[in-house]
Amino acid sequence: MLEPMTARYERPDLVRRINAMAGAVGGGAAMVPLEADELLDRATTSLGLDRFDLDDGDWEGRFRRLVTAVDASRLHVVGRLMTREELLRGLRTRLLLAAHREAEPSVRDERIVAPIVVTGPARSGTTILFELLALDPGLRSPIATEVLHPVPPAGTTPQQRTLMTECEQELWADVQPEFASMHELRSDLPVECITLTLPSFAGSHWAMVLDDFGDWAPEPGPEMAFHRSVLQAAQFGRPTATWILKTPGYVMMLDDLLAAYPDVRIVQTHRDPAKTMPSTVSTAAMTRWLRSDDLDLDGLSLVVGAVFSDALAATARRRRDGSIGGTFGDVRFGDLMTDPVVAIAGAYEQIGRPFTDDHATAITEYLRAKPRGKHGTHHYTAADWGFDADQVRVDLADYLDYFQVALEP
């Protein structure tokens, strides 16, 4: 049995005390209610708008099933507060996007042409690679402030928009400071697609929040339809540029990504799975720990191990036999750490994109100002999170061989 989260991390006093308030009022639900009709009414009343439809299917059915599942999940007070804000912000985002489409019908005609998508197992360099590719002057990245609030309410100043984003992006490290060593979230950094698609009520963000899905389930089709709506709104009225996007979860839904954007170019990262598997579990566990005291780490380890192992094995098999379409470039973690300019230039050659001297210079300068371990180092072993390193490598021998992934100490 794995060591519980309570033995691994100590909650900041402020978080611990707010959570303890539940005992004085009859539970977290009494302090932070989560009820679909009330949330819908509050969202519409706050903006004076009432149209949520964005051509992404039965959004209201998904929302209602999701709220029921969230309310039943064992979230503490701070977790319920964080999740209530996300649900309300998601509803308001939908209302504002729908109103923008009504006012500017041509926004629907915006074409998302040949986006570049970074994916791969968590902790394989996807985040830093995403940031380095976003330095390419010919690419447009989804900056958190711009895509969490793609159509801000009338009268919102840039400073207010930043503050509204900061509360969602940077609160995570306040709730548990160790999170910053796993993943840096900032209002001015490029944001993952799972965050961008939160208001679809269909995507992977919510899968990380729930301990029991109930009647809710992820729906990649509606999630990607909403994804397009956000990019269209963020792109509208701006000069043409190619989007650079990212989320590790795409490695499990490549067919859905290709269906949404048939001309997508995918940059896939690779690292020794004896490193990425336990790190993925630790990050998933931390995401749950930010909102809940109740975690089944042994069960989480089994699920994450099975899901990502299947996805990586399937990717290697399908790319080997040509049964998956799309244009791929590959970046190995060791190469990215040793010489990022050479690693990225190689991936660009594979996807048919020119790599410029200006981009190379920008990468060097960016890394000089952002050394590794800036927010501390996340130490772990495979066994810490329920894995046998040798067995993981045996199970994924074909993946390691096909992508020529180096084993790490």
Q: What residue segments make up the domains of the chain, in order of their start?
A: 5-402
Question: For each of the chain's 409 residues, which pLDDT tens digit applies?
Answer: 899 999 999 999 999 999 999 999 999 999 999 999 999 999 999 999 999 999 999 999 999 999 999 999 999 999 999 999 999 999 999 999 999 999 999 999 999 999 999 999 888 999 999 999 999 999 999 999 999 999 999 999 999 999 999 989 999 999 999 998 887 889 999 999 999 999 999 999 999 999 899 999 999 999 999 999 999 999 999 988 999 999 999 999 999 999 999 999 999 999 999 999 998 899 899 999 999 999 999 999 999 889 999 999 999 999 999 999 999 999 999 999 999 999 999 999 999 999 999 999 999 999 999 866 554 455 678 999 999 999 999 999 999 999 999 999 8
Helix (H, G, I), strand (E, B) or coil at 36: helix
Range list of H helices, 290-373: 297-321, 333-338, 340-351, 357-369
- Is the domain covering 5-402 a CATH 3.40.50.620 domain? no
What local confidence, expressed as pLDDT, does residue 375 receive? Answer: 47
Q: Which residue type does 8 have?
A: R
Task: Round to whole Å and give the CA distance between 263 and 115.
Answer: 7
155 in the Ramachandran plot: left (φ > 0), alpha (ψ -120 to 50) or beta?
left
pLDDT computed for residue 89 by the predictor:
98
pLDDT value, residue 127: 92
Using CB atoms within 10 Å of the CB of residue 183, give its burial: 0 to 12 exposed, 13 to 18 middle, 19+ buried: middle
- Distance between CA 240 and CA 67 in Å, rounded? 38
The H-or-E segment that residue 119 falls in is strand 116-119
Q: Which residues, in sequence order, are CB contacts of 170 under 8 Å at separation 6+? A: 185, 186, 187
pLDDT of residue 198: 97
pLDDT at residue 104, as a whole number: 97
Q: What is the pLDDT of residue 184?
A: 85
Compute the residue count for the chain.
409
User: Is beta strand 265-270 parallel, antiparallel or unpaired with respect to 327-332?
Assistant: parallel
DSSP code of 161? H
d(CA 256, CA 200): 15
The answer for residues whose C-beta is within 8 angstroms of residue 275's C-beta and 6 or more apart is: 123, 124, 333, 382, 408
